[in-house]
Amino acid sequence: MASQVRAEPRPKYLSIAQTAFQQAITYRVTTLTNIVLTFIWVFILYFLWKAAFNESAMIQGFTWDDMRTYVVIAFGLNALIGWRISANMMLTIRTGDILRDLTRPLNYCLNQVSVATGAAMVEGILSLGLTMVVGLVFIGIQPPATPLAAVLFLVAVLIGFLTNALIVFSISLLTFWTLNGVGIAWSREAVINILSGTIIPLAMMPGWLRIIADVSPMRGIVSTPLMIYLGKAEGSEALALLALSAAWLVAMWLFANWAWQAAFNRVEIQGG
């Protein structure tokens, strides 16, 4: 008899990411809705900044070519982590379905990062990809300043994505105490949009706010990748920004796992 070949099981976190990937494909309407909402925000900010640059050729070191590139890519980067990731996690906490995750021999933080990664492979990359295509073809955004800038941009995007996922995870854990995460989610989204530089570049912020944004982990989500992409941060400055983002990634990983242990010790399940 021919011996039967048994397929090796996939690594567990890869399997979780693959499941999230398949769910994002299955729920196509939600995925497409999020992409459409991204484009709506892009065009709103595009025309607002266009009106501003009609009055001035340069604002805080940004030309109109720089700014329209910034606006388009910023929202593409911010869309890598969809609303559904946080909403699903908060729902499992509120209803008590999180008990299923608690009984599995998994790192819950890494579990949720895997879910975010799988979903981003569809929703996030599709949003960013379509945004880049539309920007290059119809809006005339700039390509990366140099080939090296393109490579460092991708590295910065990866670090920023993981940092964003850990921030979303950490803040979503507050649902253990509040049992309702809607206000938390909206507040988190507003803070990230501001401190990451999604809505306005850090260079244009008032002094006190820029000091906070310059050293916050949110900077690595949008501002750092775009400063490298546009060539406004080169050489040692670009490497310093990447080092700061990497340091925050490590810090957020440690904090997220600590926060999860604190939340686990205060578990209060709502529901029957």
DSSP string, 54-117: TT-SEETTEEHHHHHHHHHHHHHHHTTS-HHHHHHHHHHHHHSTTHHHHTSSS-HHHHHHHHHH
Radius of gyration of the chain (CA): 20
Neighbours of 57 (CB within 10 A): 8
Average pLDDT over residues 42-49: 86
In this prediction, residue 102 carries a pLDDT of 72
**Range of weakest confidence among 126-130, 151-155, 170-174, 208-212:** 126-130
Distance CA 23, CA 110 (A): 18
Residue 1 has pLDDT above 60, yes or no: no
Distance CA 90, CA 270 (A): 12
Residue with the two structure tokens 């944004």:
213
The letter for the amino acid at 5 is: V
Its pTM stands at 0.84
The string of pLDDT tens digits covering residues 182-237 is 788 888 888 999 999 999 999 999 989 999 999 999 999 999 999 999 999 999 99
Reported confidence tier of residue 271, pLDDT bands at 50, 70, 90: very low
Is the Cβ–Cβ distance between 83 and 34 less than 8 Å? yes
Is the Cβ–Cβ distance between 148 and 128 less than 8 Å? no
Average pLDDT over residues 256-262: 89
Q: Is 106 left (phi over 0), alpha (psi -120 to 50) or beta?
A: beta
Is the Cβ–Cβ distance between 35 and 79 less than 8 Å? yes
Average pLDDT over the chain, rounded to an integer: 83
Residue with the two structure tokens 């340069």:
58
Element (H or E) spanning 59, and its range?
strand 58-59
In this prediction, residue 246 carries a pLDDT of 97
